[in-house]
Amino acid sequence: MNNLLINRLSLTYKDGFRAIKDLTLEVGNGMFGLLGPNGAGKSSLMKVIAGLQKPTSGNILFNGREVTRDPDPVRKHLGFLPQDFGVYPKVSAYDLMDHIAVLKGIGRHRKTQILNLLEKVNLGEFKNREVHTFSGGMKQRFGVAQALLGDPKMIIVDEPTAGLDPEERNRFNSLLSDISREVIVILSTHLVEDVRNLCSEMAIMSRGQILRKGKPGALIKELENRIWTKAIAREQLDDYLSGYRVISQQLLERELYITVFSEERPEGFSTVDPLLEHVYFHTLNQNSSL
Amino acid sequence: MNALFLFEARRSVRHWLTCLAALILIFSGIFCGNKFNFTVGEGIYLNSPYTIGFLTGLLSLSVIFLAIIYALRLLFKDTDSKFDRILFALPLAKNVYLNGRFSAYLLQTFLSFVLLITGFAIGQNLRTGEEIQHGFRLWHYLYPLVIFGFLNCLLVCSFLFFLWVTTHKKLLVVTGGLLLYIFYMVVMIFSNSPFMAGSMPQSPEAQQLSAIIDPFGLSSYFFESRGYTVLQRNEQVVSFSGMVLLNRSFYALLSLLFLVLAHRLFSYSSVSGKKHKKKSEPVTDLPEIFRKEYIRMKVNFGDGSALKSVMSFARIDLIYLFKSIAVPAVSILLLFFAGMEMYAEIEKGIRLPQKYAGSGLMATTISENFHLLGLLMITYFINDLYWRSNLSGFLPVEKTTFFSKSKLAGHLLSAMALLFFFTGLLIAEGLLFQTVYDYFRVDWKAYAGVILFNTLPLILFTAFVLILNDSFRNRFLALGVSVLAVFTFTGTASKKVLSYPLFRIFSDYTGSYSDFNGYGIYSGAFAERLVFGLSLIFALWMIHQRFKGQKRNFREEAVLVLLLLSGICCGKLFMKGYVPKEPGREMAGAIAYEKEFRKYKDLPQPDITDVETRIELYPSANAYRIRGKYTLKNQTGEPIGKVLIHFHPDLKIEEAWWKTASEAKKIDRKISDIDLKQPLLPGETATLDFEISYGWFAVNGHESFNAIIENGSFMRISRYYPVFGYQEYREMEDAVKREKAGLGERSGLKSADAPAVFKKDFIRLNMLISTEKGQTAIGTGELTEQFRRGERSYFRYEAAGIPFRFAVSSARYRQKKLVHKGTAIHVFYHEKHSENVSHLIENARLTLDYCSQNFGPYPFKSVTFAEVSSFTRGFAATAYPGAVFMPEDRIFHANIHADEKQDVINELAGHELSHMWWGTSQIDPDEREGAPMLTETLAMYTEMMLYRKMHGGKKMRERLKVHQQIYDSEKGLSENQPLYKVTPENTHISYSKGAVAMVKLSELIGEDRVNLALRNFLVNNSYPKKPSSTDLLEEFYKVSERRDETDRLFKTP
């Protein structure tokens, strides 16, 4: 059983921006979903865990070993897919995979795994093609393959399915799901649905802090009979915003629906089965109103 | 105004990097202005408009490097940042975009150059001294700033801009810039530039052509000013007319053409559009993902894996380098540049003969050129390789792997592979030249020097540059600092920056390779310094790694300790015998000497009449020991009460005694004045017994004329013997400094018309030279005895009635001998240099016949020609009584069959052998104006007459034409003296103009009469008279009526 313990972690950039504020979190085997709006600090947190960025204070323990000052223990068992990455020009997919495999300490039998992974991400036929000529989706799949090289005990994937078509996304999700039984997978995403489907644990992050943490099902359950919706006219929006705890607004067939959180059913509202999305918006909403 | 330009200008001005770059440029300029001592010619001031113009032109070459860096930063910015996709989607006219970019680019480059020149002007004006004239004239700086600075900026920027528009490849832009530089270097070879003195003179046609096509305009500057006098050069700028106007207009127009073409060929789509064929993705019924299990792999983080990771980094680098155009393009450039230099070294212009394409010549040519180019290339490549992962966006993936720490070592390994690849290419080119020139005697030791002197220091520098790149967060800052490191820690500037030689670990070797001696002790010393450098860089590397957060590694630390220990040991060995050059010490010594001893100038001093000496040579220890006994005689009419004795500063006094009949005095100071208790009366004698020793160390370098080396030693050894009386040559020359020191006027040369001098200073010489077994020592005079004792060989040379001037050589020689009409002709040569031996003997016979017939009998029983190592530089051949010494790399070992216009062996024999009649052998000219006319001019005359005898009048006149060209090209760089007043430094007058004048005289009055006058001159001016040039003119007047014409030849400048 692997364990990642993040203890009172803070990160302040040179320009004074506080990306992570006194964050504490514990993660075990399985998929851990990290949800949060842009600028919440998810990528910063991932960079710190991966050792790409030194925190200002706090520490991280991976399987009991402190890794903020010396990221080697985590790097020995890390698969990392950053949100945005490029590749070396002029180098083929196989050669680049081989390079990363060597850097991850894989021995002479690495060829088997490289070919296996390339096939798993549907790039087997393109192994000799230069990666920088790949399309966005292909490159992303390459990124997935490289993250799985070796014997990772922790896989950090930042927006992994961006640029993948629905079919590829499914494949990737099931692959991750398979692997996550024995390892920690931290999945950072905007896609609430992916977290619902894949993650056994999740956290919602905003402004550098964890606002909520728990199992998706349990979090949803907390909202049962507390989420209500109603179609309103646009000009009424301000009134509703000031009168109710509106957690989201969306257009359905050009009509504006608002969703509110309330212990009792507000007048004119109908009940809704809570979704993880509601948990997400509610949490953000709660936080912003604090 | 163009919005793009304004945006760029505002952004740049506010950027801290711009301020830093400005400061660096100004300080570099101040350094150049204050420290560069490019003396163009005697009497031409360093801040004369001519020199300022020339140096500005030379400095304008830096525009290439500035423009390359700015091109990479400015022109490629949009694509690098991927902002082009947004920018090109805007309604932005093509012209507005291009004009905005180009104007910002040009202005930034030019302003940088303006800053450099501003610094240069400040630096020059902070100087004082004889080489600086008073007053500051802004125009003298502004004018070249425009004709060289601005126009060269325009040319380089427009050319690189054009390359950017048409290729969008960084490397091609860099290569294009370097190509411009190489093109310039090639043109300069034919331009008669004072800096390309080795290839001078070029024919007027070649000069004219290079004046037109030189992209930086310097050749046109030299061409246009070729007729200027020293005064003109000091007072007026080189006019903007003729070739300067033509060249500058041509390149200004060409620049505009590049810009027009760039505008025509530019299209937005070609910048951002990436063309590649996409292979469509297969449609599979059941994706593999569902069929195959995910396989896990065991990982290992041991040493083997660490090594593999280093190799993997290197492999990826090399795939990138060799798949891109970078390496092929740079290889071609390098081969082209080195090839041009090899060709120039072999062919040597019209003055010198074709050299044999020996491995040594090829290897030293590679070393002379590869080092700087290698430094620049490696600076670029390392910057490119290091920042590639960052720029491509691969860094987050790579850096989160365990072995990402191998990145630096991987780049180092790939750079090493690249450097060995370039080294191999250059060596292969050298071998190719050897094959083409039909001289395929491969000396691998010479080529190994290329690796030792270039590849290895370049590898050290690579490690240093990697540390620099890893220490900065900005790619261009890292590049700028690396380029700065090239120019401060290597080359000429490093001597100022790192005055302690041990720390110049990246430096190159600019010395010789000798077939006799290889690289001598320099290769060992170089290796010692490299080991020290390695330990230093390794320590720096480890400190850097620790700083970057890497854990302690005891094994690495153990290696470091071992390396540091061996580095310190090697450093100590390298520094053995180091004598620091203290600036000002020599000057202080000269001032003190003059103040203390000038009084001896007018005091009578004894003359040396007999020299009995034993010279023990230890070539393998780079040392010798001299034991000597002088017999001294008071040949003046006055008693001598004080004696001033000098021992050479480089030699150690083991023991020395001054003895007269009544007293003996021990001497232990290098300069000693002795008060005699009893004056030495006229006619009385004294003796000086002495034992002195000498040895040299690689760290100080050897003296060209005191080169005691393992094989092929040559010493003008009489210069290192004790001498008596005031030595004028020790006086300080700089008039301003003399005035400051309160020294007054310097003892000048006597006028040519001063009264005649008689002095009995010839000596009887008996020298016993011993050397190591297997070597032959050649001395001065006749060989009278030769024997072996133990491990040493002994050679006794004797001569009577010769000037105090003798030399020694020692080497493992082959010998050829022939007796011609009772005179033995010996040639001692290196076993691989036999090609011209017979021809030399033949020409020596001819010379002996001609000179004996026309000037008088040959004064010795034999003549010896001895080849010496190329560690001796500074002459093509030198004659001593009975012996002529010739460095291996000048004339003797040249391919005379390749050049039908020239027979250098004939010239060598004719010229040097004739010195046995002229000064300094049968006559000893008085040290005054015109003295070189009695030595070199007469030797040149004999050379020309013998050339005619061997090859006919037409060929001789062709040679004469070359001498006329040499004279014409150099006469404007110093005071134009008449021949009869020529001073020793003006060889273009004593040799070249002298040859022309003497041949003209022979045509005017006839060869026979000239020879008669010369024969009479020898008879009438024999020892103890010290003749002057007017004595020779008198003899010419006596044999012909044409005094006016004779005067015109010898008495007009």
What is the SS3 assignment for B562-609? HHHHHHHHHHHHHCCCCCCCCCCHHHHHHHHHHHHHHHHHHCCCCEEE
In chain A, which residues have their Cβ closer than 8 Å to the Cβ of B289? Answer: 119-122, 171, 174-175
As a whole number, mean pLDDT of residues B519-544 equals 96
Instruction: Examine the pLDDT at B289 and tell me if it is beyond 60.
Output: no
Tell me which of B400, B474, B550, B551 to substitute to probe the interface with A (most A C-beta atoms closer than 10 Å). Answer: B400
Distance from CA of B276 to the nearest CA of A (A): 7
As a whole number, mean pLDDT of residues B110-129 equals 92
Residue contact B309–A103, C-beta within 8 A? yes
Q: What is the pLDDT of residue B200?
A: 52
In chain B, which residues have their Cβ closer than 8 Å to the Cβ of A77? Answer: 299
Structure tokens at A175: 């692959």
Residue contact A76–B404, C-beta within 8 A? no
Residues B357-366 pLDDT 10s:
999 999 999 9
Residues B917 and B927: their CA atoms lie apart, in Å, by 18
In chain B, % of residues over pLDDT 70: 95
Angle at which helices B326-347 and B303-323 cross, to 10°: 70
Asked whether the beta carbons of B526 and B509 are under 8 A apart, the reply is: yes
| B814-820, strands of its sheet edge to edge | B814-820, B823-829, B862-868, B883-887, B878-880
**B267 or B938, higher pLDDT:** B938
In chain A, which residues have their Cβ closer than 8 Å to the Cβ of B404? Answer: 75, 103
Nearest to B393 among A77, A85, A95 (CB): A85
As a whole number, mean pLDDT of residues B164-187 equals 83
Amino acid of residue A177: S
Instruction: Examine the pLDDT at B60 and tell me if it is beyond 50.
Output: yes
Residues B110 and B91: their CA atoms lie apart, in Å, by 30
Taking one residue from A and the other from B, the number of pairs with CB-CB distance under 8 angstroms is 160
Q: Using CA coordinates, name the residue in chain B closest to A128.
A: B279
Q: Using CA coordinates, name the residue in chain A closest to B385.
A: A88
Residues A207/A210/A211/A214 CA torsion (nearest 10 deg): 150
Q: What is the pLDDT of residue B274?
A: 47
Q: What is the pLDDT of residue A89?
A: 84
Nearest to A82 among B282, B396, B403 (CB): B396
Residues B644-665 pLDDT 10s:
999 999 999 999 999 998 899 9
Structure tokens at B376: 């620049």
Residues A268-284 pLDDT 10s:
899 989 999 999 988 98
Q: What is the pLDDT of residue B276?
A: 46
Residues B464-503 pLDDT 10s:
999 999 999 888 889 989 988 998 888 777 888 888 999 9
Residues B1033 and B509: their CA atoms lie apart, in Å, by 48
Residue contact B402–A105, C-beta within 8 A? yes
Half-sphere exposure of A233 (CA within 13 A, CB side): 2
Q: What is the pLDDT of residue B578?
A: 94
Instruction: Examine the pLDDT at B291 and tell me if it is beyond 90.
Output: no
In chain B, which residues have their Cβ closer than 8 Å to the Cβ of A75? Answer: 400-402, 404
In chain A, which residues have their Cβ closer than 8 Å to the Cβ of B392? Answer: 86-89, 132
Residue among B546, B540, B583 at smallest CA distance from B564: B540
As a whole number, mean pLDDT of residues B291-302 equals 82
Tell me which of B294, B401, B553 to substitute to probe the interface with A (most A C-beta atoms closer than 10 Å). Answer: B401
Distance from CA of B321 to the nearest CA of A (A): 9
Q: Using CA coordinates, name the residue in chain B closest to A167.
A: B287
Q: What is the pLDDT of residue A156?
A: 93
Residue contact B298–A121, C-beta within 8 A? no
Instruction: Examine the pLDDT at A290 and tell me if it is beyond 60.
Output: no
pLDDT band at A34; cut points 50, 70, 90:
very high
Which residues have C-beta within 8 Å of that of residue B968, sequence separation ≥ 6? B201, B226
Instruction: Examine the pLDDT at B116 and tell me if it is beyond 50.
Output: yes
Residues B879-919 pLDDT 10s:
999 999 999 988 888 888 876 667 888 888 889 999 999 87
Tell me which of A78, A88, A149 to substitute to probe the interface with B (most B C-beta atoms closer than 10 Å). Answer: A88
Instruction: Examine the pLDDT at B288 and tell me if it is beyond 60.
Output: no
Residues B466 and B386: their CA atoms lie apart, in Å, by 8
In chain B, % of residues over pLDDT 90: 60
Q: What is the pLDDT of residue B285?
A: 45
pLDDT band at B195; cut points 50, 70, 90:
low
Amino acid of residue A106: I
Instruction: Examine the pLDDT at B293 and tell me if it is beyond 80.
Output: no
Residues B270 and B398: their CA atoms lie apart, in Å, by 31
**Across-strand partners of B288?**
none
Q: What is the pLDDT of residue B190?
A: 66
pLDDT band at B550; cut points 50, 70, 90:
confident
In chain B, which residues have their Cβ closer than 8 Å to the Cβ of A82? Answer: 396-397
Residues B817-851 pLDDT 10s:
999 999 999 999 999 999 999 999 999 999 999 99
DSSP string over B971-990: GGGS----GGG--TT-HIII
User: Which residue do the tokens 């041990």 mark?
Assistant: B502
As a whole number, mean pLDDT of residues B570-592 equals 90
Range picked from B577-586, B947-956, B991-1000 for highest mean pLDDT: B991-1000
Nearest to A178 among B294, B295, B399 (CB): B294
Range in A124-133, A160-169, B199-208 the model is least confident about: B199-208
In chain A, which residues have their Cβ closer than 8 Å to the Cβ of B288? Answer: 119-120, 122, 124
Nearest to A104 among B323, B396, B401 (CB): B401
Q: pTM of this prediction?
A: 0.83
Contact with chain B for residue A143, Cβ under 8 A: yes
Q: What is the pLDDT of residue B1023?
A: 86
Q: What is the pLDDT of residue B549?
A: 80
Number of Cβ within 10 Å of residue B835's Cβ equals 18
Residues B319 and A90: their CA atoms lie apart, in Å, by 7
Distance from CA of B69 to the nearest CA of A (A): 22
Q: What is the pLDDT of residue B277?
A: 46
Range in B412-416, B571-575, B872-876 the model is least confident about: B872-876
Nearest to A99 among B278, B290, B316 (CB): B316
In chain B, which residues have their Cβ closer than 8 Å to the Cβ of A151? Answer: 296-299
Among A residues 62-121, those touching chain B with beta carbons less than 8 Å apart? 69-70, 72, 75-78, 80-82, 84-91, 95-96, 98-107, 109-110, 112-113, 116-117, 119-121
pLDDT band at B1013; cut points 50, 70, 90:
very high
Output the average pLDDT for chain A.
89
Contact with chain B for residue A146, Cβ under 8 A: yes
**B618 or B369, higher pLDDT:** B618
Range in B68-82, B299-313, B507-521, B567-581 the model is least confident about: B68-82
Distance from CA of B185 to the nearest CA of A (A): 34
Q: What is the pLDDT of residue B275?
A: 46
Nearest to A78 among B279, B388, B400 (CB): B400
Asked whether the beta carbons of A222 and A216 are under 8 A apart, the reply is: no
**Across-strand partners of B355?**
B894
Among A residues 154-213, those touching chain B with beta carbons less than 8 Å apart? 171, 174-175, 178-179
Q: What is the pLDDT of residue A172?
A: 81
Q: Which H helix or E strand runs over B796?
A: strand B792-802
Asked whether the beta carbons of B597 and B646 are under 8 A apart, the reply is: no
Residues B521 and B809: their CA atoms lie apart, in Å, by 18
As a whole number, mean pLDDT of residues B1024-1042 equals 92
User: Which residue do the tokens 């033949």 mark?
Assistant: B842
As a whole number, mean pLDDT of residues B972-998 equals 91
Distance from CA of B392 to the nearest CA of A (A): 5
Instruction: Examine the pLDDT at B287 and tell me if it is beyond 50.
Output: no
Range in B18-22, B64-68, B672-676, B781-785 the model is least confident about: B18-22
Distance from CA of A126 to the nearest CA of B (A): 9
Distance from CA of A38 to the nearest CA of B (A): 19
Q: What is the pLDDT of residue A174?
A: 83
Q: What is the pLDDT of residue B726?
A: 93
Q: What is the pLDDT of residue B538?
A: 95
Nearest to A146 among B282, B397, B406 (CB): B397
Residue contact B319–A106, C-beta within 8 A? no
Q: Using CA coordinates, name the residue in chain B closest to A84.
A: B393
Residue contact A116–B313, C-beta within 8 A? no
Q: What is the pLDDT of residue B899?
A: 66
Q: What is the pLDDT of residue B280?
A: 52
Distance from CA of A201 to the nearest CA of B (A): 23
As a whole number, mean pLDDT of residues B758-764 equals 90
Asked whether the beta carbons of A246 and A285 are under 8 A apart, the reply is: yes
Output the average pLDDT for chain B.
89
Residue contact B292–A119, C-beta within 8 A? yes
Angle at B1028 between CA B1025 and CA B1033, to 5 degrees: 120
Structure tokens at A157: 């994937």
Q: What is the pLDDT of residue B901?
A: 66
Q: Using CA coordinates, name the residue in chain B closest to A155.
A: B400
As a whole number, mean pLDDT of residues B380-405 equals 92
pLDDT band at A149; cut points 50, 70, 90:
very high
